[in-house]
A and B are shown apart, each in its own frame.
Chain A
Amino acid sequence: MTDRPDPAPQDPLEDELRRLLHDRATVEPAALDGVRATYGRLPPRRRAPLALLARAAAVLVGLGIGVVALAQLPAGPATPPTTPRLQEPSAFEGDPRRALCDSPFAIYAFELPRLADFRAYYQGEGFPTDDVPALIVVWDGRTAFDRMGREFVLPPGHYNACIVAGSPGDPAAWRRIDVSDADLTALLPGPGLIGDPARYADDPRFARCAGPQAEVLGAFEMQHARDYRLHVPAMGRSPELEVDDPAFVVIYRGRNPLSRPGVWPDPLSDPARRDVCVLVGADVAAATLNVYPGVDITGLVATLPDSSGSAPAPSTASSPAVTGTPGPATPEPAPAWTGDLAGQLDCDGPVRTIGGETGDVTEELIGPTPADLAEYLTRTNFDALPGRLELAEHEAHWVRYVHLHDDRLKTVVIATDTSPRSLGPWAIVGLRSCDPAEYDPEVGLAGVYHGVWHDAAGNPVPTELIHEITGAGHCGWDSATLMRYEGIQFIRDPEGVLADMQVAPYLADTDLPETAVDTGLRDGERHLWRSSDGRYVFVVTSDHVEGWPRAVRDFGCT
């Protein structure tokens, strides 16, 4: 009996492919050691009923019930999970575990007495938990580095949690995972994370924000109001705060007393959102009062410089310490090529609605260098961009990437490191594009979008008519493919993750009905047919027919 492959004729390309694959499969000893460490951290194979109860409780917490609720639930035979104390990463300087998770994007860190408790903040599977202590370092920004110095990028709304299992003297397993905003919100705010409102009990600024009458989560000062998005990075842009005046911030735990009942949504319905008061001006009596309902406080990282002192006087208090590296305070004038992006394009059809002109785009952080744009664009909401962008312009603080087909400009992307929001520090600030059907067919599409379809004559078809995307991973749909054809969604669902969303079952291997109609659309060897009753499209290849059912309704993953 042999274990060799079936004999095949010699093919130089196959030989070269074999050499390439073996090169790429070369394993570094350190990487192997990291994986080996998993052995000793595998969970017990038989779980006690109480442990299962704790796990269920953790999932509930992950769904938004909250850390406080978890602490009140029976949590298994060991000590119940406790709310971790968030700290500056520098608090763990000298801890070997901290070194394993070193990153310029580390924003805070916390210790857990039992790694198993991390499930309270992470619903994902795959991390072997145990009764060992752990250090968790959370990285902000889209780009981070693993312990081997390689860069990786997260989708918007996600952070990295770098987890080191073991005690400071014996760090063992190491792993990074993605955690979402919502997971982190369960951690925010922890004791001492933001200003203790008691410190400001007699402060007239606190009184103007109705602090004494409110249940307040925290309060802090800003030397300049324009720094507000350094402290509350997910807060929407607010022109009235783009001033140099000092400001005082109060974040309410519940509804703020200044709101009119019934007008604003209940802030407690979303754990990531809180009402916020920002008092702008040095003169308390004349300061401008701004109250913002339902502000997304995800990423709030303001801390008091001295947590043990008495309440500072308004005129002498220093600004809260903020992690991250603020961008340049005074942006330089933008080059001329950052303007009129749509006018720069040479499209056959209309300019797509994605993105916007420079300054109109909600700034998206991409990382410490312009090159980070590459991976960032694979995960962004700026969908269906070309798979290759050329660096066309690069000045000190601005870059312009383009995509050309037959020397005609089809996509332009502007990024800068002068964005006031950039903790990162480079951010996309402008993006316009033609339809992907106009891209160079050789480069393919980036991100979750699949390739462009063609009509029977071989002409590319606009994505408005038909496109396919991979299902969103964070909704557990990554095994599915969603096709939108003539405005209707069809689903390829081999693992049944969207079974409830289909008007009929997905057919992995079927016969093409005699009544099916050829749409004339082609994607390589794939031909698209549709059923006469509209319930299916059929993706037909030379040896295979799949039936993709129509979705019961339009849906998406947010």
Chain B
Amino acid sequence: MERACGPPERVGPVNDTDSEPIRPVRPLIPVEAAIDPAHAEPLGPAALIAAARRGDRDAFGRLVEPELATALGACQVLTRSHADAADAVQDALLSAWRGLDSLRDPLAFRAWFRRHVVRAAIRITKRRPRVVELAMDLPAPAGELERTVERRLLARGFDRLSADDRVLLTLRHLWDLPVAEAAALLAIPQGTVKSRTSAAMERLRAAYDAETRR
């Protein structure tokens, strides 16, 4: 059975005395930071938030770590730029760090942090104008994500949507958020989420059709 947190697992060979496990070189998160040395048990979100509010960066890191890959992935979708996505997540981390006092319910941390992420991504996306597309016989970039022609056409159609449309479709179809959660995250009525999502999907369908006719 996997353990999400606990004393360091042994990694790699052990030393001669077999008294201490050897840690991986430069772990992504310091092993010490993943463990509360006083209790050797994972801290709950309330305790982590309390520690983070006192200025404990490690505690904050442990809070956001489970959300980090999801946040960065969504920002990649929304900003259409890996560099901007990294900027957006860093902005979200900073604004969340500064705004910890406004978080009332520790159990709502994930939704609260995601709000920071989406807002940061929207802010960067709207700051960046839409990209001109050049028709050139250039080799496809390394790491091409679209595996089929249809996928590429759909991707182009998605890229032509407004930032607001992309946000809604990302929340619904990448994060799989229910309408109620998407509405709470965007601070708009649930009915508006439904109608705008439907309209965004129709615009995507139209853009996709336009691409296939091109």
Residues of A at the B interface (CB closer than 8 Å) are 3-6, 11, 13-14, 16-28, 31-36, 38-40, 42-46, 125-128, 146, 148, 150, 152, 175-176, 371, 373-375, 377-379, 385-391, 401, 442-448, 470, 473, 478-479, 524-525, 542-544
Contact = CB atoms under 8 A, between A and B. Distances in A.
Given A38-B93, A44-B55, A152-B81, A388 B129 contact: no
B93 A42 contact: yes
Nearest to B64: A39
A355 B137 CA distance: 27
Contact of B86 (A24, A31, A373, A445): A31
A374 B90 contact: no
Nearest to B176: A5
B154 A16 contact: yes
A479 B60 contact: no
Interface string B15-29: 000000000000011
Interface of B: 28-29, 53-55, 57-58, 60-61, 64-65, 68-70, 72-74, 76-77, 81-87, 89-91, 93-94, 97-98, 100, 123, 126-136, 138, 145-147, 150-151, 154-155, 158, 160, 169-170, 172-174, 176-179, 191-192, 195, 199, 201, 203-205, 208, 210, 214
A444 B160 contact: yes
A5 B176 CA distance: 5
A35 B68 contact: yes
Nearest to A13: B205
B136 A371 contact: yes
B131 A374 contact: yes
Greatest chain B CB density within 10 A among A14, A32, A39, A128 is at A39
A377 to B, nearest CB: 5
Contact of A42 (B28, B97, B123, B214): B97
A31 B179 CA distance: 30
A371 B133 CA distance: 10
A6 B83 CA distance: 33
A20 B132 contact: no
Given A27-B76, A446-B132, A42 B94 contact: yes
Nearest to B53: A45
Nearest to B56: A45
Contacts, number: 205
Contacts of A175: 86-87, 90
A38 B204 CA distance: 35
A23 B58 CA distance: 30
A368 to B, nearest CB: 14
B55 A17 contact: no
A25 B70 CA distance: 8
A17 B204 contact: yes
A172 to B, nearest CB: 11
B58 A35 contact: no
A21 B70 CA distance: 12
A17 B77 CA distance: 12
A478 B123 CA distance: 8
Given A442-B210, A543-B195, A35 B98 contact: no
A542 B202 CA distance: 14
Given A26-B145, A150-B81, 20 more contacts: A6-B179, A13-B154, A14-B173, A20-B154, A21-B77, A25-B77, A31-B82, A31-B85, A31-B86, A34-B86, A35-B86, A35-B89, A35-B93, A39-B93, A45-B98, A371-B136, A388-B134, A391-B136, A478-B127, A544-B192
Given A25-B174, A126-B90, A375 B145 contact: no
Given A5-B176, A23-B145, A479-B126, A32 B69 contact: yes
Contact of B126 (A176, A373, A387, A470): A470
Contacts of B81: 150, 152
Contacts of A478: 123, 126-127
A150 B173 contact: no
A390 B134 CA distance: 6
Contacts of A443: 133
Given A14-B201, A377-B132, A478-B123, A32 B72 contact: yes
A213 to B, nearest CB: 47
Given A31-B82, A45-B55, A470-B126, A17 B154 contact: yes
A346 B187 CA distance: 48
24 contacts: A3-B178, A4-B178, A5-B177, A16-B151, A23-B145, A26-B76, A27-B69, A27-B72, A27-B76, A31-B85, A33-B28, A35-B72, A35-B93, A39-B60, A45-B98, A46-B55, A125-B94, A152-B83, A371-B136, A444-B130, A470-B129, A473-B127, A478-B123, A524-B203
A36 B28 contact: yes
A140 B208 CA distance: 38
A3 to B, nearest CB: 7
A263 to B, nearest CB: 41
A478 B150 CA distance: 33
Contacts of B84: 152
A469 B164 CA distance: 15
A241 to B, nearest CB: 34
Contacts of B64: 39
Contacts of A373: 132, 134
Contacts of B129: 378-379, 446-448, 470
A385 B68 CA distance: 37
Nearest to A152: B83
Contacts of A36: 28-29, 61, 65, 68
A40 B57 contact: yes
Nearest to A24: B77
Given A32-B72, A389-B132, A18 B126 contact: no
